[in-house]
Structure 1
Amino acid sequence: MSDQTRRRSSMRTAVVWQVLREALDRRAEAAGRDVLDVLDTGGGTGNLAVPIARLGHRVTVVDPSPDALAALERRAAEAGVTDLVRALQGDTHDLFDVVEPDAADVVLCHGVLEVVDDPAADLGRIVRALRAGGTLSLLAANRTGAVLARALAGHFDQARDLLVDPEGRYGPADPLPRRFTVADLTALVAKAGLAAGPVHAIRVFADLVPGVLVDDPGSFDALLDLERAAAEQPEYRALATQLHLLAGKPAA
């Protein structure tokens, strides 16, 4: 992997990783265990699964792509955490064909609800995989941020379509079936029986500034610090490419 690719990947995941790591620590303390069982739905090649395993937690990744899972296994082997990472082919629609209900302390649902046929039903199944008192980490594409990005790129018709389309799409060429607002996500987790926690703005500036600034080592750290600061400010959620929400399952 080139330094440029590594920097771009880090910019995409750094804020989510910081929030998630703190959530894992809180969940471990509440559970009274150093080792948690983590389920990563749609976890692909292990961008988060492997770092979580490096912390000593057991991670199960469920993904429909055999190629992604093969890459995950290679990454886990390179990191020396093969014994802590389990790769299973499947999807959220048939989740319990490959995992057991009530088996995870933490579930990651990142970039999943945008592409499934029925987000509410799939999220309901994901929540069933959580133990009582468990934590959901939900990451999804932000509708309002996409409107801004299309407008700034000069695609004003697409921006307007995004603004009014019920699913938050800009037309047949849009690669995503849907996008969400903060209200959409909080309503979904409430319907699934979870208590919504903090919402973080992800990639507020990184996808709006010229790419050369993301690639420049001299500006990278300052941009990342800015992203971390903006993530905590509710007024910047509307600008973000993605929204990250933590939610908790009631204790038994």
Structure 2
Amino acid sequence: MPDPSPRGATPPRPPRASLRTSVVWEVLRDALDRRAEATGGETLDILDTGGGSGSFAVPVAQLGHRVTVVDPSPNALFALERRAAEASVADRVRGVQGDVHGLFDVVERDGFDAVLCHGVLEYVDDPAEGLRNVVAALRPTGVLSLLAAGLGGAVLARALAGHFTEARQALADPAGRWGDADPVPRRFTAEQLTGLASDAGVDVGAVHGVRVFADLVPGALVDTEPGALDALLRLEAAVAELPAFHSVATQLHVLGVKHR
């Protein structure tokens, strides 16, 4: 783990993990900076739904913000507590057990400057209802960071692995699943995800393709070829906002603000 950052400083990126988080992290950090400037305060109240062990919550807290993590797993919340303590931000990170369908049993409505909903909609029974709850937790003009599995990335991955029938099944299946053994219950297109956000009361500002190439490049190449990791990170950043690449991204990220 990198050394904890001073309050308000930019946390360093874990090199290998940055392949999965870099695009979202850079966009999110900029959005939080803009929100802080707009509200005139240095410290924001952030909600991370399904935040697990704190892969985003702890770096956000290292920026100086207060973060509440709601997650159904006691084990994940225990790991969150440990990670926050190791990063010296335990006083700014709070974990509570719950999920988006019962969100207001554990947090207040209209109480947060930003909400992270990462890797949640794939697993809930009713994505539209879950996202409406997430947005209802935001203050007016608060920031939504929505990250979910992309349909096209799964189709491409199955095809490149030689599983052509499974690729066709994912393409035709309403939930984007390639078979009974598929561990992901639901995937989305960019249009579906932005439609859900708009219907929930969000003005969509940007859509990003995440892990467009990272999951297709052999890990040995990234780990051993000098400069390969940084070059791949720059490539991912370069294509993230290009609509042509959204259809093959492993994940899709939607950034928006709640209606006034």
Structure 2 length normalisation: TM-score? 0.93
Inter-partner Cα distance in structure 1 for 2:39 and 2:189: 32
Q: Which is richer in helix?
A: 1
CA deviations on 1:46-79 (whole Å, 9 max, x unpaired) are 0010010011000000001111111111111111
Matching of residue 97 in structure 1 with residue 114 in structure 2: no
User: Which ranges of structure 1 fall in alignment gaps of 5 or more residues?
Assistant: none
Please report the RMSD computed on the Cα atoms of aligned residues, expressed in angstroms: 1.3
Q: For this pair of structures, how many residues does the alignment match?
A: 248
Name which of 152, 155, 161 aligns with 1:144.
152
Instruction: Give the Cα–Cα distance (whole angstroms) in 2 for the partners of residues 97 and 216 of structure 1.
Output: 48
Following the alignment from structure 2 to structure 1, what is the Cα–Cα distance between the partners of residues 247 and 89?
38
C-alpha distance in structure 2 between counterparts of 1:248 and 1:7, whole Å: 30
Moved more, 81-90 or 205-214: 205-214
Residue 204 (structure 1) shift: 0.7
Q: Which residue matches 1:54?
A: 62
Task: Specify the alignment match of 2:11 in structure 1.
Answer: none
Indicate the residue corresponding to 1:26 in structure 2.
34
Q: 2:193 aligns with which of 174, 185, 195?
A: 185
Provide the rounded CA distance (Å) in 2 between the counterparts of 1:107 and 1:98: 15
Q: Does 2:110 match 1:113?
A: no
Q: Give the residue type in structure 1 aligned to 2:62.
A: R
Whole-Å separation in 1 of the counterparts to 2:105 and 2:152: 36
Q: Does 1:234 find its partner at 2:243?
A: yes
Query: In 2, distance between residues paired with 1:176 and 1:189?
Result: 20
Match of 1:88 in 2: 96
Q: 1:213-244 CA deviation, whole Å, 9 max, x = no partner?
A: 23236211111111111112221111211011
Q: Which among 9, 13, 18 is matched to residue 10 of structure 1?
A: 18
CA distance in 2, matches of 1:100, 1:213: 47
**SS, match of residue 173 in structure 1:** coil
- 1:35 corresponds, among 31, 43, 48, to 43
* Ranges in structure 2 where 5+ consecutive residues have no aligned partner: 2-13
Q: Secondary structure at the match of 1:126?
A: helix
1:108-157 Cα offsets, whole Å, 9 max, x none, are: 00000000000000101111100011010000000011111110110001
Shift of 1:29: 1.1
Match of 1:130 in 2: 138
Tell me, what secondary structure is at the counterpart of 2:133?
helix
Q: Which amino acid aligns with 1:17?
A: W
For the residues of structure 1 that align with 2:171 and 2:62, how far apart are their CA atoms? 41
SS class of match (1:239): coil
SS at match of 1:94: helix
TM-score (norm 1): 0.95
SS of aligned partner of 2:96: strand
Could you tell me which of 227, 230, 235 is aligned with 1:221?
230
SS at match of 2:16: helix
Give yes or no for the alignment of 1:210 onto 2:218: yes
Percent of residue pairs bearing the same amino acid type: 66
Matched AA of 1:130: L
Q: 1:244 aligns with which of 235, 253, 260?
A: 253
Helix, strand or coil at the partner of 2:33? helix
- Tell me which of 168, 178, 184 is aligned to 1:176: 184
Q: Which whole-Å CA distance do the structure 2 matches of 1:7 and 1:119 have between them?
A: 32
SS at match of 2:255: strand
